[in-house]
Amino acid sequence: MSVVPVYKRILLKLSGEALMGDDTHGINRAVIERIVREIGEVVGLGIQVAVVIGGGNIFRGVAPAAEGMDRATADYMGMLATVMNAMALQDAMKRSGLDCRVQSALNLEQVAEPFIRGKALRYLEDGKVVIFAAGTGNPFFTTDTAAALRGVEMDAEVVIKATKVDGVYTADPKLDPAAVRYQKVSFDEAISKNFKVMDATALTLCRDQRLPIIVFSIFKHDALKRVVMGEDEGTLVHCY
């Protein structure tokens, strides 16, 4: 186990659902404050942190609520939901003393900066947290793909995906008590066995760019810190 962080720059993928906690929709204030505290601890270790956030707690383009809608329109609505989550996350970070910026893939200059790679890199180098909103800015692509894309663009060393489950298992641990957590899996295995780590586009991009992914539970106390310290937390998806 390392006594110093094993990563200098990470891309954290947060789903919109992670912000709900036990609520049925929206943003749970206690949950978002706890997530911000955990991010703050990692920043305090000297790690540069970029965040891609989803919008499923507000609106998702492929959800039943979008049934019958034009898919591109529904996806743009989902992108706007991620901007709302990014603004809420930024507000919570500022109140906790974290310096952060929101960059949007859609042009919404009154509430967020446009995505500019060079500026985002400078922010990270200055110790600011950068929150990327609006996915890739294009319909038909998920925020998983946005996380993979931004991770590559930001020269991140790893994409860390926060989920409700503490890794990838041999079976659904809620249904099968004998399910075992994988410590490591290959990209090809994750794709061929449909482990649902991320969508196929995101997995393929990370595999081709040799950008590892770690899946962990955002609901386990200090799990993010254990991940960046190289402890046995979550599941590492990588190239063998």
135 is an annotated ligand-binding site residue: no
85 is an annotated ligand-binding site residue: no
137 is an annotated ligand-binding site residue: yes
The order of strands in the sheet holding 235-238 is 113-114, 100-104, 129-133, 48-53, 9-14, 158-163, 213-217, 235-238, 184-186
14 is an annotated ligand-binding site residue: yes
21 is an annotated ligand-binding site residue: no
230 is an annotated ligand-binding site residue: no
144 is an annotated ligand-binding site residue: no
Element (H, E) at 238: strand 235-238
75 is an annotated ligand-binding site residue: yes
13 is an annotated ligand-binding site residue: yes
CA atoms of 20 and 10, how far apart (whole Å):
23
140 is an annotated ligand-binding site residue: yes
172 is an annotated ligand-binding site residue: yes
Longest Cα separation, the chain: 53
115 is an annotated ligand-binding site residue: no
24 is an annotated ligand-binding site residue: no
47, 128 Cβ separation under 8 angstroms: no
139 is an annotated ligand-binding site residue: yes
Q: Which residues are annotated as a binding site for UMP?
A: 55, 75, 136-143
Q: Which residues are annotated as a binding site?
A: 13-16, 55-56, 60, 75, 136-143, 163, 169, 172
Q: Which residues are annotated as a binding site for ATP?
A: 13-16, 56, 60, 163, 169, 172
